[in-house]
Amino acid sequence: METLSQLLFPHVTKTPEELEAQYPPRNLPEGAVVTRMAPSPTGFVHLGNLVQGLTSERMAHRTGGVLFLRVEDTDAKREVPGAVEVLIESLKHYGIAFDEGATVEGDLGNYGPYRQRQRAEIYHVYAKLLVEKGMAYPCFCTEEELTAMRERQEANKETTGYYGKYALWRDRPLEEVKAALDAGKPWVLRFRSPGDSSRQFKFNDLVKGTLTVTENDVDHVLLKADGIPTYHFAHAVDDHLMRTTHVVRGDEWLPSLPFHIQLFQALGFKLPKYVHIGPLMKMDGASKRKLSKRKDPELALTYYQAAGFPVEAVYEYIMTLLNSNYEDWRRANPDADPTAFPFSPKKLNPAGNLFDYAKLTDVSKNVIAKMPASQVYNLLTKWAVQYDPEFGEKLAADPAYAQAILAIGRGGKKPRKDLATWKDAKEYMGFFYDEYLAAPEFDPRFPKETVAKALARYLETGDPADDAAAWFEKVKALTEEMGFTADMRAYKADPSAFPGSVADVSGFLRVALTGKTNSPDLYTVIGILGWDRANGRIRAALEGLK
Ligand code: GLU
């Protein structure tokens, strides 16, 4: 007589031994971590993907291991066309380079296929094995039956699910199964759980530490009616055959862990180590909540690109988020490559991380401040061409000019920190381009005539041959001529003793030259604008005062 496993899987001819031989243990040094990202291609790539990606990437590459990408595309209904490409490109953009797995061009590596829909045959080999071992069985319950069951359980205030006396198909005789199959009834394959919900056991997670968990007694679905595996079954089969040593994933999977442990045991697989990452949260008023796709645009990875955060800054920020000792390390190693940091999954916060936009902005300012002008120029221009094409065109038209602007205050011990994002650049440096120069608005505390007098005197006394010191001496001299003081200490001690100070005169010049009340050093600005063009602006401002 045909056995149940032959009845259910007549097409399966491969054996688990053949698969074991086809996907042998990897030849890697002791301690090398093999890990993966296993995202579902829903088209939405979020900050959580990056947190998980960087954690896995660091763990693999710091140990001489392997990071691979597996696409979990078993839920065809949720799949968005092009999502796999978007996913791969976004992760690449953030420096997450996979050693193997799904790529835009196809599969790379010896442990594939890396897209789950292409692995149906493999899952069925192990499904058949479990049936042979008496660890899985077909269930022909209809949706209506399952709903009725759940309602009864709820009414009785019992735990809901397919377990114990509710596991209706667990011990049916073979003839009944055969009859249902012959009648063409759809079925799912269920796990025969050996667990008992009154028992607990200890489990060690690399982030969460030692946890006490309850055994699973639910006969969960392994294969859906279309033969496609559930996440749980695919996780066990894939991570075993792909020789994953560490599973880094979101802690929403923690409740399924007791089931996963049973599955690995039933299949005769060695259990990988687990790194369950807590969620990303944000402050909402006085309380914390999880970042939400619906409410928080900053959850999407595309947000950072459009907002103009350099990849390096997002990377740096995520590192500070993941390992609390990263900032100390950074202070001690200001110029080191972040990959030199001794990253450890054990330093992750088990409760998850608080995402702090202000902190990201701060980190980004520091990261941009340390970049050489040429790099700032290249990244900014690339961003602007896409997100502010008009500005992008101006930047691209005269690279030397733009780089001279971006070089202001860069390179020293205390570099300027004007830019947190590329979006800030136009506000900061736009005045260097005539089209973006705002009309001057002078300090209303001073009569127009006073401002006009200062500007006119400046035009008369200035000389393009003056160096910075000589230039400023002349500004001070015209300050004194106007009855203002050039002695800032005296002015600060008693402002009422003077009609104004050299700071006010510089302010007039600044507004005339830049249209703004703060800007980089004026002499430097004039140097970049060119003497004549700068004086042209002062003259125009003077005209405007008449
Ligand atoms: N496809 C699962 C998810 O996106 C993968 C979880 C895992 O890494 O195992 O949540």
Question: Residue 72: CB within 6 Å of ligand 1?
Answer: yes
**What average pLDDT does range 31-43 have in this prediction?**
92
User: What is the model's pLDDT at position 168?
Assistant: 96
Same domain, 378 and 303: no
User: What is the model's pLDDT at position 218?
Assistant: 98
264 or 76: whose pLDDT is higher? Answer: 264
Q: Is residue 502 part of a domain?
A: yes
pLDDT tens digits for 319-341? 999 998 999 999 999 989 999 99
Q: How large is the angle between the packed helices 311-322 and 47-62, nearest 10 degrees?
A: 80
User: What is the model's pLDDT at position 413?
Assistant: 87
**What average pLDDT does range 361-387 have in this prediction?**
97
Question: Residue 296: CB within 6 Å of ligand 1?
Answer: no
For position 183, which CATH number holds?
3.90.800.10
Same domain, 324 and 415: no
At 76, is the pLDDT very low, low, confident or very high (cuts 50, 70, 90)?
Answer: confident
**Which residue's alpha carbon is at the smallest distance from atom 5 of ligand 1?**
38
Q: Is residue 79 part of a domain?
A: no
Same domain, 209 and 190: yes
Question: Residue 235: CB within 6 Å of ligand 1?
Answer: yes
Same domain, 127 and 223: yes
Q: Is residue 219 part of a domain?
A: yes
Which numbered atom of ligand 1 lies nearest the CA of 239? Answer: 9
Determine contact, residues 302/90, Cβ cutoff 8 Å.
yes
Look up the domain containing 317 and give its range: 288-369
Question: Residue 249: CB within 6 Å of ligand 1?
Answer: yes
Same domain, 332 and 385: no
User: What is the model's pLDDT at position 183?
Assistant: 97
Q: Strand 188-191 and strand 136-139: pairing?
A: antiparallel
Cis amide leading into 113 (omega within 30): yes
pLDDT tens digits for 392-431? 999 999 999 999 999 999 988 899 999 999 999 999 999 9
- Distance from residue 501's CA to the centre of ligand 1 (Å): 64
Question: Residue 39: CB within 6 Å of ligand 1?
Answer: yes
- Distance from residue 221's CA to the centre of ligand 1 (Å): 17
For position 529, which CATH number holds?
1.10.10.350
User: Nearest-CA neighbor of 70 among 124, 29, 120, 107?
Assistant: 107
188 strand-pairing partners: 139
Same domain, 215 and 322: no
Same domain, 338 and 383: no
Question: Residue 40: CB within 6 Å of ligand 1?
Answer: yes
- Distance from residue 151's CA to the centre of ligand 1 (Å): 30
pLDDT tens digits for 153-193? 999 999 999 999 999 999 999 999 999 999 999 999 999 99
- Distance from residue 70's CA to the centre of ligand 1 (Å): 9
Q: What percent of the chain has pLDDT over 70?
A: 100
**What average pLDDT does range 230-237 have in this prediction?**
97
Largest CA distance in the chain: 114
Q: Is residue 263 part of a domain?
A: no
Determine contact, residues 345/275, Cβ cutoff 8 Å.
yes
Range of weakest confidence among 68-77, 189-198, 227-236, 317-326: 68-77
- DSSP notation for 375-437: HHHHHHHHHHHHH-HHHHHHHHH-HHHHHHHHTTT-SSSS-----SSTTHHHHHHGGGSGGGP
Question: Residue 246: CB within 6 Å of ligand 1?
Answer: no
Residue 45 has pLDDT above 90, yes or no: no
Global pTM? Answer: 0.88
Q: Is residue 12 part of a domain?
A: no
Q: How far apart are CA 441 and CA 346, in angstroms?
A: 56
User: Domain boundary residue among 423, 440, 463?
Assistant: 423
At 133, is the pLDDT very low, low, confident or very high (cuts 50, 70, 90)?
Answer: very high
Question: How many domains in the chain?
Answer: 4
Residue 242 CB neighbour total at 10 angstroms: 23
At 1, is the pLDDT very low, low, confident or very high (cuts 50, 70, 90)?
Answer: low
- Distance from residue 511's CA to the centre of ligand 1 (Å): 55
Same domain, 313 and 400: no
Contacts 24+ apart (CB under 8 A), 536-543: 537/437, 537/512, 537/513, 538/455, 538/458, 538/459, 538/509, 538/512, 538/513, 539/459, 540/512, 541/440, 541/455, 541/511, 541/512, 542/452, 542/455, 542/456, 542/459, 542/512
Residue 448 has pLDDT above 90, yes or no: yes
Same domain, 354 and 392: no
Q: Is residue 295 part of a domain?
A: yes
User: Which H or E element spans position 365?
Assistant: helix 357-370
- Distance from residue 49's CA to the centre of ligand 1 (Å): 10
- Distance from residue 247's CA to the centre of ligand 1 (Å): 9
For position 342, which CATH number holds?
1.10.1160.10
User: What is the model's pLDDT at position 87?
Assistant: 83
Q: Is residue 434 part of a domain?
A: no
Same domain, 361 and 384: no
Residue 78 has pLDDT above 80, yes or no: no
Which numbered atom of ligand 1 lies nearest the CA of 235? Answer: 9
Residue from 37, 75, 117, 253 to probe ligand 1 pocket by mutation (most atoms less than 8 Å from CB): 253
Letter for the amino acid at 84? V
At 314, is the pLDDT very low, low, confident or very high (cuts 50, 70, 90)?
Answer: very high
Residue from 71, 249, 260 to probe ligand 1 pocket by mutation (most atoms less than 8 Å from CB): 249
**Which residue's alpha carbon is at the smallest distance from atom 3 of ligand 1?**
39
Residue 2 has pLDDT above 80, yes or no: no
Same domain, 126 and 229: yes
- Distance from residue 153's CA to the centre of ligand 1 (Å): 30
Same domain, 365 and 394: no
Residue 22 has pLDDT above 90, yes or no: yes
User: Domain boundary residue among 338, 369, 400?
Assistant: 369
Q: Is residue 494 part of a domain?
A: yes
Instruction: Look over the chain and give the mean of its residue pLDDT values, rounded to a whole number.
Output: 95
